Structure 1
């Protein structure tokens, strides 16, 4: 359960970064997500990126909305500030916090249901206003908390676990962010840590709205043959859809 904290005692030989923290100091509580969930890999990448960048945890404010993805801030940076907003309203609350204190690093974590459906307007205006934040969408194409219905980002023709074929065109958050003028836009895959960590580090170092859409398979409802959000499908197509040269 989320109330179970990890042991505070660390092995004395653990490597410390320049501000004196071990990687364990950037962890949070024990995850309650399904074993193998891509969201836990994203949490691990955020932990690794913050540790490598020598960020003091108390200088970070992490905000989320509603959904499996929005539970994840409890699983990383346990010593940072945090706020769980109502469904789709994370960007507005983050904007208000940013106006009140511009000295913190703002990290917004959301899901495809949270950002591409009820929160689509919030997402659009956060990008348009170039709010200084790292905005990560953990994109699995389904509503994992409500038994796996298609979300607005599900690809047309993708099949559900029950064999239903999605007939709707997807909302492409990457294309939308670029159209709205976001100055840092990227897409990654939760099964590719070597790609995720540098992208998250680059986003943290970027001033303004830095958006990363991370394909993150749902092992319970969207990791089967016919799904375009399964581990097998994304690994097979990762070079084609996600690999670009990064220019500082």
Structure 2
């Protein structure tokens, strides 16, 4: 059977301020299983870039190996793209970012690609505060190799054949907060109203932004007994509603005291959080960690913007790199000569 993506789009389809329609942000036809949560994430990425008026060629999308790492083919076909080896996407992202800081770096990975073979790479890209958005499409299993448990599978969760996981899970959000991420959010692929503003906020953040998105595997991990299934996730979500207000819009608030918290981003846009109570401070690392642990111990999944640090120094600032992309620099600027090299070496003695 041949599947062909239709080319037709309504002639009156909405356009953004660039004159682009949503079609300009789409990619190829997905080959993932019907109902896969990853496709919902791809759709939200398309919507976020369209609504933020981002030119596709200003985006560099990177991935590793796994079902999740196939998804960059399904959005932003006009952007730069690199599919790296298993677990090594952070190294490629770092190298590309150091060469050209003008692009928006969007890394897509999975719980296996990140929390197992890529855990060391993930930890170092977090602590260096590389300016990128790192999306983990988290389904708790290895979908490409018949559904074995991944390192994020919860203790006591059952596999499709009935085996119970006896190991403690790695909570990537808690790990990222602990080792220096400056923006950490968690969401559910089936909650577009929360995921879309989180994506917009992450893309507007200056520094490393992690989005841990629970994305059920409909083939191997969507059954009774799994804590990463659609049913379980919907029943145990403790969601924090969130709005993202671009700076081109008038920023207003009309909420009772104590029910909203606004965070101004570097570009002047605002992330607005609606909270039922003042449970914790998202700008305090220890408070965020305690809130995540408390909900986890109660069997619930806390989602939304979990932590943000607007004052963190991103990697380009820390290293004092050139403001311009390396491919725009002259040979003299790139190779200033032995005298300059000698001065560097003298400074290291």
What TM-score does the superposition give when structure 2 sets the normalisation length? Answer: 0.68
Cα distance in 2 for partners of 1:220, 1:166 equals 18
Residue in 2 that maps onto 1:189: 188
Question: Conserved in 2, the CA contact under 8 Å of 1:112 and 1:153?
Answer: yes
Q: Which residues in structure 2 correspond to 1:44-193 (within 5 Å)?
A: 44-193=43-192
Give the SS at the match of 1:118. Answer: coil
Matched, 1:10 2:9: yes
Show structure 1 runs of 4+ deviating over 6 A. Answer: 245-248
Residues 183 and 208, structure 1, Cα contact 8 Å, conserved in 2:
yes
User: Which has the higher mean CA deviation after the structures are superposed, 237-246 or 166-175?
Assistant: 237-246
- Mapped to 2, the partners of 1:24 and 1:112 lie a distance apart of 29
Contact 2:189 2:215 in 1 (8 A): yes
For structure 1, which runs of at least 5 residues remain unmatched after alignment?
none
Using the TM superposition, name which of 144-153 and 237-246 deviates more.
237-246
CA contact (8 A) 1:5 1:29 kept: no
Q: Quick check: 1:227 aligned with 2:226?
A: yes
Q: Tell me the distance in 1 between the aligned counterparts of 2:203 and 2:304.
A: 19
Q: Residues 26 and 51 of structure 1 are in contact (CA less than 8 Å); yes or no, is this contact kept in structure 2?
A: yes
1:241 aligns with 2:240: no
The residue number in structure 1 matching 2:248 is: none
SS in 1 for 2:228: coil
Give the drift of 1:242: 2.9
Give secondary structure in 1 for the equivalent of 2:105: strand
Greater CA drift, 3-12 or 95-104 = 3-12
**Distance between the aligned counterparts of 1:146 and 1:15, measured in 2?**
41
Greater mean alpha carbon deviation, residues 232-241 or residues 201-210: 232-241
What is the aligned partner in structure 1 of residue 212 from structure 2?
213
Q: Check 1:142–1:106 CA distance in 2 against 1; reply closer, same or farther (3 A cut).
A: same
Q: Contact 2:186–2:304 at 8 Å: present in 1 too?
A: no
Q: Compute the TM-score of the two structures, normalised by the length of structure 1.
A: 0.96
| Counterpart contact for 1:6–1:28, Cα < 8 Å | no
CA offset at residue 245 of structure 1? Answer: 6.6
- Show the 5 A alignment for 1:22-33: 22-33=21-32
Aligned to 2:292: none
- How many residue pairs match? The answer is 247
Shift of 1:243: 3.9
Partner of 1:198: 197
Question: SS at the partner of 1:194?
Answer: helix
